[in-house]
Amino acid sequence: MTAETLALFPDSARIDDTGSLVVGGCGVRRTADQFGTPLYLYDGETLDRAVEAYRTALSRCYPGAAQIAYAAKAWLCSASARWIAAKGIGLDVVSGGELAIARHGGVPADRIHFHGNNKSDRELAQALDAGVGRIVVDHPDELARLDELAIARGRRQAIWLRVNPDVDTDTHHHTQTGHAASKFGLSLRDGTAEAVALDALRRAGVELAGLHCHIGSQLRDAEPLAVAAQRLLDLAARLRDATGWQPAELSTGGGWAVAYTAEQLADLPPVETYVARVSEAVVQRCRQHELALPRLVLEPGRSLVARAGVAVYTVGAVKPAGDVTYAFVDGGLADNPRHALYGATYTALLANRRGDAARQRVHVAGPYCETGDVLIEDIELPPLVPGDLLAVPVSGAYQLSMASNYNAALRPAVVWLEDGQATLVQRRETLDDLLRRDLV
């Protein structure tokens, strides 16, 4: 195993004298014996450092007020919500379910932003009744419905408008969200964003607090993010000229990339590169338009939690098949569909022993009834035997949150590791869980 591969793992990761992986002061082999596999491990130290990296970058780069708001869609459970509450950061949710988990975990309602392009009346009412800090309005119909619901409750709800800035990004087309044809946001190109903003300013049940955009995920170039921020501030200047209104807050979303392999790590710009360029763009455009600096809100998800997470699988068999060899493990498509959806690349290491110097090329595949149930293609590993453990780094985002019960699989347990303590924060599903919703 190379140092470059270990660098993908959580900050606390090391290899002990037996060649086994240790994370958070806990041996992965012993932790897997205790809780079973598939198993997801989260390192508290790495999570804390990721938040501090953003805080430090904002304090260095942006002269105005700023806020970090974690994007819950990357990974959310009651334990992560409690961590968010303790860190004093905000939280973006996109469903009534995420809002319920956030509140159960103790996240203050005024630090919650409710996003989503198709919120139901029930979800809007849930958000209003919970007292969420911001509701992010995606289209004119939602604005009208929210205004009516707020007035009925005697409330004036603070909102942002999600603006589609018509910015292209160099990332997978499934994660591009700021181009003109995206399903998200109010178009700048056709004037809808400006018209809806003017409408919002006339309504009694809402208070327009700011503008928001999100242009995509796994972004390695900060320039499209800077352009998006500039276009939102151009809109703000037009609104100021027409009405006197200025945005108290500006959210440029999230989307900064993480590295999943050593090759990607070599050319990954640091978080501060992204924060610095967006901050510079906001400051310059505000100066140009004579706008007051808004509170700058950044919404990292993957870049806060991905590297803190490790997925651990048990090898069941090694099977030659034509020109390839498969290493079968006890997880895959059901707990991590990202390779099947996006062609996402991963690496892995043998976690329970020191491997031989010899290497074997394998496809790491799961037990599910899909040819696409492959986690890693063509990876070089020591010769594997049944019972070996494979640890897959950078598994903390968009895996558990996209996990399913395909083939009636049981979703994995989740363990929080910190200071040598392994705490079970989500138990493994049981067969009873699978049957609980059935009525006949």
Mapped onto helix, strand or coil, the DSSP state of residue 306 is helix
pLDDT in tens, 148-173: 999 999 999 999 999 999 887 655 45
The answer to whether residue 333 scores a pLDDT higher than 50 is: yes
Measured distance CA(185)–CA(238) in Å, rounded: 18
The answer to whether residue 174 scores a pLDDT higher than 60 is: no
Looking at the fold, whether 343 and 248 belong to one and the same domain comes out as: no
pLDDT in tens, 78-111: 999 999 999 999 999 999 999 999 999 999 999 9
Contact by Cβ (8 Å): 329, 314: yes
Looking at the fold, whether 228 and 360 belong to one and the same domain comes out as: no
Strand partners, 86: none
Q: Which of 268, 300, 332 is the last residue of a domain?
A: 300
Measured distance CA(47)–CA(67) in Å, rounded: 17
Measured distance CA(342)–CA(336) in Å, rounded: 11
The answer to whether residue 370 scores a pLDDT higher than 70 is: yes
pLDDT in tens, 390-399: 999 999 999 9
Contact by Cβ (8 Å): 102, 75: no
Q: Is residue 68 part of a domain?
A: no
pLDDT confidence of residue 1: 54
Looking at the fold, whether 256 and 317 belong to one and the same domain comes out as: no
Looking at the fold, whether 220 and 317 belong to one and the same domain comes out as: no
Structural domain of residue 406, as residue ranges?
A: 3-44+307-435
pLDDT confidence of residue 175: 46
Mean pLDDT of the chain: 95
pLDDT in tens, 290-326: 999 999 999 999 999 999 999 999 999 999 999 999 9
Q: What H or E segment, with its residue span, contains residue 54?
A: helix 44-61
Looking at the fold, whether 141 and 217 belong to one and the same domain comes out as: yes
The pLDDT confidence band at residue 357, using thresholds 50, 70 and 90, is: confident
Adjacency order of strands within the sheet including 26-27: 14-15, 21-23, 26-27
Tell me which of 61, 77, 213, 369 is the catalytic residue: 369
Number of domains in the chain: 2
pTM here is 0.94
Q: Is residue 274 part of a domain?
A: yes
pLDDT confidence of residue 148: 99
Active site residue 61: no
